[in-house]
Amino acid sequence: MAASSDDMSKNLTIRRFKDGDNRPEAWSDQIFQASWTHKCPTYIHRTPPCQGSCPAGEDIRGWLDIVRGIEKPTGDLDWQEYAFRRSTTANPFPSIMGRVCPAPCEDGCNRNQLEDRVGINAVEQFIGDTALEKGYTFDAPGADTGKKVAIIGGGPAGLAAAYQLRRIGHACTIFDDHEELGGMMRYGIPGYRTPREVLDGEIKRIIDMGVETRMNTRVGKDVPMADVEKEFDAILWALGAKSGRALPIPGAEAENCITGVAFLEAFNQGRLQHVSGKVLVVGGGDTSIDVASVARRIGKITESHEKDRPEYVVLGQTAHDVASTAKRHGADVTLISRHPVTNMTAAEHEVQDALREGVEIVGSVDPIEVIKDENGRAKAIKVCKMNEAGTERIEGSEYEIECELIVSAIGQTGDFTGIESMANDRGLIDAGKNYEVPGKPGHFVAGDIVRPHLLTTAIGQASIAVDTICTYLAGKELGKRPKVDVHHFDLLDKLRETNHEPEVLDVKVGQIRGTSEANFAVHNYEDRSDKEIATSDLLYLGHFEHEPRYKRDHIDVHADEVLGHFQERIVALDEATAKKEAERCMSCGMCFECDNCVIYCPQEAVKRTPKKDATTGRYVYTDYSKCIGCHICKDVCPTGYIEMGMGE
């Protein structure tokens, strides 16, 4: 029987139509009438842009929230260790990253819309250094799965993969052709940027999880690839790009034209102690700056024996003895780049350091020929000026720059001796979307050998490759990766950690009409972190006061003091300053417990969750019987965590 109109007006709280109306109005006209709507607040978790821009996909907002004391550890874990555990979920090298990652996360940071980015990698360094100081270790590995993975290459990609594989319980063995692990972190980047005690500490933590290593073992030479395929269930190729590209110009075959990676490896192995004349570096990226800065530090020797020429040392024919360093003095080092100095790809602060340390940098010139002497040795390089855009040479602008050593740092490829079948036509390895090697089941790839880039990129790829390896080892089909592919904060994990895990839904419960009273759901919460970024337009930026960034101190080394200067230049933040810097984070996309919604709600509909039930992301709740949908809470939420939803 149909209800009478009297009954209807008694039972319904909101009448959709006035008596006599026979056409509904558009809902969009009814919503946002300033004072009320049919919508109520829901809580939406999105990925912050810092995390979205970190190639390793670190939960940056999460560890900043821990450092500043908003998110607290449970049990007797101290906050420093809790922050370390959160940051290393994605990336096991916080100390190294904090020092040398060029921090693309900071370019993405929403705080750039206010006054200046959050100094993310300064806080990351603090977390990493504290962990080393306090001797934190990683959790014990996962239960043994009985599967074995070979990792070819013990650089950041290989080591990060070993870490992620051991967490899951897969056995893994790293093959590396060097004496020590670290790849370019040890044999490329000089120790005054990645201090060896820091590197050793971060690597040891990974190896202590039960990673087998076969050092001084080159796959393709010391061990045939077929043997590795036979012994292991899967192979991860993390070879890096250790072959420097020679200059593609006439005369570049001269013996004193060497590559930047070879120069740096000889220096980092202690074989190269000085140069012997004017050094000319061709490049513009990180490697070229490192070569030039190292050359300034090791200096030159004018009266040296012919056998001591740097090219012979770099090529492994001889090595300098330490005593020879007593006679060295400042080396003349020039770096040339096709691009204007302001557009070079090296990090801006590294360029400034090199200039201060006495490296001459000439932008907008292109090398066209190596000029050789009667013995076939390079004595100069002929260059041509480039137009401002760096796209065309200026005819008639050629000139020569004299030099005794030419170092080419213009790019790298892999060394495929003995493993030629893995190479593509660019001297790298092809990668599928999930870092599987197309057409080679059981083979996976990560790091510079996919495309030379950054440490954090190699580490992020390794993590995805490990997911893919797990899927392969489980005999499953590869699925789609999330649109925002990072290590997401998981509210359910947080609820479990704090003993607030919702009950498992009892299937016998019968028909469900709403879950507001039930404990088998996380209410009014939506996790969109795998597809949406908390962009600055979602935030209430007016909430945040102007606060300049707390920067790390930097030791400026000047040209007259650079010879023999191998100390670190970055001075780490102390604990109090690291906390202050973390407090500048606006916690984009996640509640940071500011109380604005509780204070401003005119209906007192938004309440603090009782302390015993509250966790990160569940700090407030809404009493929907009081909410009139005025959306004030959404407007005053600084972090963009509240969205008006649910109602029509």
Ligand X SMILES: Cc1cc2nc3c(=O)[nH]c(=O)nc-3n(C[C@H](O)[C@H](O)[C@H](O)COP(=O)(O)OP(=O)(O)OC[C@H]3O[C@@H](n4cnc5c(N)ncnc54)[C@H](O)[C@@H]3O)c2cc1C
The residues binding ligand SF4 (CB under 6 A) are 48-50, 54, 56, 58, 60-61, 64, 91, 97, 101, 103-105, 109-111, 118, 120-121, 124, 456, 585-588
Q: Are 248 and 408 in contact (CB under 8 A)?
A: no
Q: Which is nearer to ligand SF4, 364 or 596 (CB)?
A: 596
Q: What is the DSSP string of 154-210?
A: -SHHHHHHHHHHHHHT-EEEEE-SSSSS-THHHHTS-TTTS-HHHHHHHHHHHHTTT
CA distance 351 to 161: 32
Strand-pairing partners, residue 364, are: none
Alpha-carbon distance of 93 to 198, in angstroms, equals 9
- At its nearest, how many Å lie between ligand SF4 and the CB of residue 535? 10
CB of 47 to ligand X, least distance (A): 22
Between 99 and 297, whose beta carbon lies closer to ligand SF4? 99
Backbone angles phi, psi at 335, to 5 degrees: -115, 125
The stretch near ligand X (CB under 6 A) out of 232-240, 507-515, 563-571, 586-594 is 232-240
Give the Cα separation of 129 and 394 in Å (integer): 50
From the list ligand X, ligand SF4, none, partner contacted by residue 178 (C-beta under 5 to 8 A by kind): ligand X
Provide the 3-class DSSP secondary structure of residue 608: strand
Among 172, 238, 365, 591, binds ligand X (CB under 6 A): 238
Q: What is the largest CA-CA distance in the chain?
A: 110
Q: Is 569 in the site for ligand X (CB under 6 A)?
A: no
Among ligand SF4, ligand X, none, the one that 118 touches (CB under a kind-dependent 5 to 8 A) is ligand SF4
Work out what residue 155 binds among ligand SF4, ligand X, none; the CB cut-off runs from 5 to 8 Å by kind: ligand X
CB of 409 to ligand X, least distance (A): 8
Q: Which does 380 bind (CB under 5 to 8 A by kind): ligand SF4, ligand X, none?
A: none
Q: Are strands 257-259 and 405-408 parallel, antiparallel or unpaired?
A: parallel
For residue 578, give Cα distances in angstroms to 35, 92, 121, 284, 582: 42, 20, 10, 32, 6
Q: Which of 220, 358, 363, 460 binds ligand X (CB under 6 A)?
A: 220
Question: In the 3-class helix/strand/coil scheme, how is 416-455 assigned residue by residue?
Answer: CCCCHHHCCCCCCCCCCCCCECCCCCCEEECCCCCCCCCH
Instruction: Please give the single-letter amino acid code of residue 264.
Output: L
Q: Does 203 bind ligand X (CB under 6 A)?
A: no
| Contact in structure between 493 and 615 (CB atoms under 8 Å) | no
Choices 148-156, 203-211, 266-274, 591-599; region in contact with ligand X by CB under 6 A: 148-156
- Please give the C-alpha separations between residue 404 and each of 14, 55, 309, 315, 371, in angstroms, as whole numbers: 87, 39, 10, 16, 11
Phi/psi for 235 (5° steps) reads -130, 130
Question: 337 touches which of ligand SF4, ligand X, none (CB within 5 to 8 A by kind)?
Answer: none
| Residue 247 Cβ vs ligand SF4, minimum distance, rounded to whole Å | 31
Q: Does 491 bind ligand X (CB under 6 A)?
A: no
Binding of ligand X at residue 59 (CB under 6 A)? no
Subset of 522-541 contacting ligand X (CB under 6 A): none
Which residues neighbour 312 within 8 Å (Cβ) at sequence distance 6 or greater?
A: 318
Strand partners, 400: 382
Q: Tokens 């076939």 sit at which residue?
A: 376
- 447 contacts ligand X (rule: CB under 6 A): yes
Q: Would you say 99 or 296 has its CB closer to ligand SF4?
A: 99
| Of residues 42 and 217, the one with the C-beta less far from ligand X | 217
> Closest approach of Cβ 282 to ligand X, in Å?
14
Residue 352 tokens, joined: 């400034």
Residue 256 binds which of ligand X, ligand SF4, none (CB < 5-8 A, kind-dependent)? none
Output 175 or 550, the one with its CB closest to ligand X.
175
Contact present, 284 and 338 (Cβ < 8 Å): yes
Q: Round to whole Å and give the CA distance between 350 and 348.
A: 5
User: Between residues 67 and 449, which has the closer beta carbon with respect to ligand X?
Assistant: 449
Among 155, 195, 201, 277, binds ligand X (CB under 6 A): 155
- Nearest to 574, CA basis, from 122, 90, 51, 3: 122
Retrieve residue 367's tokens. 């090398």
> Toward ligand SF4, which CB reaches closer, 278 or 487?
487
The closest alpha carbon to 326, from 352, 362, 298, belongs to 298
Does residue 128 bind ligand X (CB under 6 A)? no
Q: Is 643 in the site for ligand X (CB under 6 A)?
A: no
Pick 95 or 256: Cβ nearer ligand SF4? 95
Taking the least distance from each CB to ligand SF4, the nearer of 465 and 588 is: 588
Burial of 536 (0-12, 13-18, 19+ CB in 10 A): middle
Nearer Cβ to ligand X, position 106 or 415? 415
Q: Which is nearer to ligand X, 128 or 589 (CB)?
A: 128
**Interface with ligand X by CB under 6 A: which range of 106-114, 325-333, 385-393, 449-457?**
449-457
Q: Choosing among ligand SF4, ligand X, none, which partner's interface includes residue 169 (Cβ < 5 to 8 Å by kind)?
A: none
Q: Which is nearer to ligand SF4, 41 or 48 (CB)?
A: 48
Contacts to ligand X from residues 27-56, by CB under 6 A: none
- Whether 484 contacts 460, CB under 8 Å: no
Task: Give, as ranges, the residues between 369 and 428 that touch ligand X (CB under 6 A).
Answer: 415, 419
Buried b (16+ CB within 10 A) or exposed e, 211-222: bebbeebbbbee
Q: Checking DSSP bridges between strand 234-237 and strand 443-445, what pairing results, if any?
A: parallel
Q: Which does 91 bind (CB under 5 to 8 A by kind): ligand SF4, ligand X, none?
A: ligand SF4
Q: Does 158 bind ligand X (CB under 6 A)?
A: yes
460 near ligand X (CB under 6 A): no
Cα 41 to Cα 274: distance, rounded to the nearest angstrom: 66
In the numeric block, which tokens belong to residue 92? 């096991």
Mark the segment that binds ligand X (CB under 6 A) among 137-145, 181-189, 492-500, 508-516. Answer: 181-189
Tell me which residues touch ligand X (CB under 6 A). Answer: 100-102, 152-158, 175-178, 183-185, 188-189, 218-220, 238-240, 242, 261, 264, 286-287, 290, 415, 419, 447-449, 453-456, 458
